[in-house]
A = this chain, B = another copy of it.
Amino acid sequence: MPAERPTIADVAQRAGVSKGLVSFALNGRPGVSAQTRDRILEAARELGWQPSLRARALSVNRAFALGLVITRDPEIVTGDPFYPSFIAGVERELAPAGQALVLSVVPDEDAELAAYRKLVAGRRVDGVFITDLRHDDARIELARELNVPAVTLGHPETPSPFPAVSMDDRAGIEAAVDHLVGLGHRRIAHVAGPARMLHGSRRRRAFEEAMTRAGLRAGMVVETDFRAADGVRATRDLLARPDYPTAIVYANDPMAIAGLGVAQRAGLRVPDELSITGFDGSDVGEHIFPALSTVVSDAVSWGSVAARVLLRSIAGEQPGDTDLPPARFVPRESTTRSPEPTPRADV
């Protein structure tokens, strides 16, 4: 049985001073003579003393932890490259700051609100990330009501007291559409994310606007839940249409990869007979054949910036909104010239 962990009282006793002075010395606060400080630090070192976060948390009323709630059915969480990268970015910021990340994975939106409540009510975290914003997102109101600092990924629609860290994804969609239009495509479809999610509907609108600007009708849009299986269904439906598309812009990579599979299985040559673009730049999309043209967003730095902003909020600053460099379209192999001749402009 190893010895009990030393407490600050043990250090005080060994150094021959009071508890309070030990606390002062270890936190580098003034009012401790250099000589005594050294003696205290020495004693702490000898005992291998480490402050108990629990005691600190209680007395300074901080949890030294941030909360992240991920709402995804288990099916989609697999394969989606966003969260792992985002979390890696968050960690990069938290670890040096002595903070920890408390993660909650829940299946649906009711459980999501309950999870936020639980994290905050138990005082487990000092602040929360709000990701995957939805229309009229109840979490904003909840966080305000719980009086907890928060940061939103993207600008919510409803007025929000919390700083937002955003990455423009419209530019990427527009670039993808422009790229396809430049290759002569006219019948371009979009496999969109769920309309209730802000980035789902925003990407869809960006698609529609880009099409309109190019003088094309944005008639072929299928709404999905971002799952690979949805990509399969949507692609099948689109390809079965009499006015089947020559190019499909997918709202994420897993659906694009699944769509590619559907097209290939149907005997279509990609990209010669069908061009495909993804979104979010998964590692695997880079290595499949043909390599996926996609819109890459830097989820890692999104994570670290969001974490930094949240920490500043907690520290009492009022950080403003941050706009990250926009996601950018990276053409690879899955897009090429339209199989059908571009009608001449004067026709």
Is A106 at the interface (CB under 8 A from chain B)?
Answer: yes
User: If A57-B54, A102-B100, A119-B100 touch, does A257 touch B231 (CB 8 Å cutoff)?
Assistant: no
A309 within 8 A of partner (CB): no
Decide if A52 is an interface residue (CB 8 Å cutoff): yes
Contact indicator A288/B300 (Cβ below 8 Å): no
Chain A, residues 180-206, CB within 8 Å of chain B (1/0): the string is 000000000000000000000000000
**In the complex, what distance in Å separates the CA atom of A74 from the CA atom of B78?**
16
A86, chain B: closest CB distance, angstroms: 10
Report the interface size class on chain A: 35 or more
Contact A50 B284 (CB under 8 A): no
User: A123 contacts which chain B residues (CB < 8 A)?
Assistant: 52-54
18 contacts between A and B (CB under 8 A): A2-B147, A52-B123, A53-B122, A54-B58, A74-B85, A80-B84, A91-B106, A95-B115, A100-B103, A100-B124, A101-B102, A103-B103, A228-B287, A257-B284, A264-B289, A265-B289, A284-B284, A288-B288
The 6 closest A-B pairs by CB, nearest first: A258-B287, A53-B122, A264-B289, A261-B289, A78-B81, A50-B121
A residues with a Cβ closer than 8 A to B are 2, 50-55, 57-58, 61, 63, 65, 74-81, 83-85, 87-88, 91, 95, 100-106, 115, 119, 121-124, 145, 147, 227-229, 231-232, 254, 257-258, 260-262, 264-265, 282-284, 286-289, 291, 300
